[in-house]
Amino acid sequence: MCYYNGQKVTHAEFIRLKQLEKALAKYDFLTHDLNIGFEYGLNAVLKPMADKEDFDIVPMEWGFIPHYINNRADLKHFRFGGVNPKSGKFDVPIITLNAIGEELFQKVTYKKAAMESRCLVLSSGFYEWRHIFPKNKKTGLPLKTAVKYPYYINLPEKEYFYMAGIWTPWTDKNTGEYVESFSIVTTKANQLMEQVHNAKKRMPTMLNEDLAYESIFGKLDEKRITEIAATQYPAEEMKAVSISKDFIAALDHQKPFEYADLPALEVA
Amino acid sequence: MENSQDIFELSFKQGRIRIQRHFVSSQTIYHVVFSDKRSPLVVTRALTDNASRWWTSIPEGRQREAEEIGPLITAYIKANQL
């Protein structure tokens, strides 16, 4: 007889529970409802195996870590900025959560990964902020400060979908810690996302299955990689709903919330 | 597509819990998210050596919570014929 959580169970049941434990450990990062980019946490990523015929689902750190970063302390300075101890000047944070699809081969940081290390980021949906400029009651002109409304965007017909990504291996030169990190590739906003993410008019490069598989398994040249990176997912297959401004703290992050002063989106 | 019946909310002590049913390795597990700061919990039903059923946490270590929340899940499933 064996014990699981203090209960006497059969040997077979013990093995079953232990196997379940092992399976859950592998997929634990899939059960997160919400991944916040600036927390630089782990996300589920499809990484092609060396033979380029199959892939593995692995946890990777969101926020591409360039090879020239030496250790975690340097990485923290890179990501969050601060006063440079050598120059005494303030270094601005460098954000590598997203990589502009049209410029992948113009950026030294991303060029090699775009050619050699493309991946797919599993997502069940994402969040963006819509900026609305209220009108001045006296003049009728828009105010300078926007009111921001969060939206949850997903594909109602798909539990998960793929975002194009690029990844890179990195080793902390002080501790030997090995990490794989990634950046989500972005493209110009489609008709729906132009209205939601109206400040930047960008969206993640979401790929259908054919393009997703071509992206990670295909022997592609710069032109084709850039074409795929610029793909706009059809707006009519996407859904965007406004959600509560405190959605991050909410139990259900995706619960729709209607604002009386928020104009409706034009349906794609 | 995710079945909306696979996600439900229940009252638990002073707060709420959000429960999502998953199938992992052909087995049913329930992922529990709390409204307070505690870590999410995974629970499942298991068999003792005398063939009676009980709720347990995966991995081991949070048995008390599993035994408190498990019966709430059972009641919800029965009430909603899931």
Hey, where are the domains in chain A? 1-31, 32-242
- Strands annotated E in chain B: 7-12, 15-24, 27-34, 41-47, 53-57
Give residue A163's pLDDT band: very low, low, confident or very high (50, 70, 90).
very high
User: What confidence score (pLDDT) does residue A229 get?
Assistant: 97
Strand, coil or helix: A151: strand
Q: Which residues of A23-32 are buried (b: 16+ CB within 10 A; e: fewer)?
A: bbeeebbbbb
Of A52 and A238, the one with more pLDDT:
A238
Give residue A100's pLDDT band: very low, low, confident or very high (50, 70, 90).
very high
Give residue B2's pLDDT band: very low, low, confident or very high (50, 70, 90).
very low
φ/ψ (deg, to 5) at B22: -130, 160
Q: Between A8, A10, A23, which is nearest B24 by CB?
A: A23
φ/ψ (deg, to 5) at B4: -65, -25
Residue A97 has pLDDT above 90, yes or no: yes
Query: Among A53-62, A247-256, B22-31, where is mean pLDDT lowest?
Result: A247-256
Residue B23 has pLDDT above 80, yes or no: no
| Chain B contact set for A19 (CB, 8 A) | 25
User: What confidence score (pLDDT) does residue A74 get?
Assistant: 94
**Pairing label, strands A206-207, A202-204:** unpaired
| Chain B contact set for A21 (CB, 8 A) | 58-60
Q: Please calculate the CA angle A19-A25-A26 and round it to the nearest 5 degrees.
A: 95
Structural domain A32-242, CATH architecture:
Alpha-Beta Complex (3.90)
pLDDT in tens, A26-42: 665 555 555 666 666 67
Residue A131 has pLDDT above 80, yes or no: yes
User: What confidence score (pLDDT) does residue B1 get?
Assistant: 31
How many beta-carbon pairs under 8 angstroms link A with B?
Answer: 73
Q: Between B9, B35, B46, which is nearest A4 by CB?
A: B46
Model-level pTM?
A: 0.69
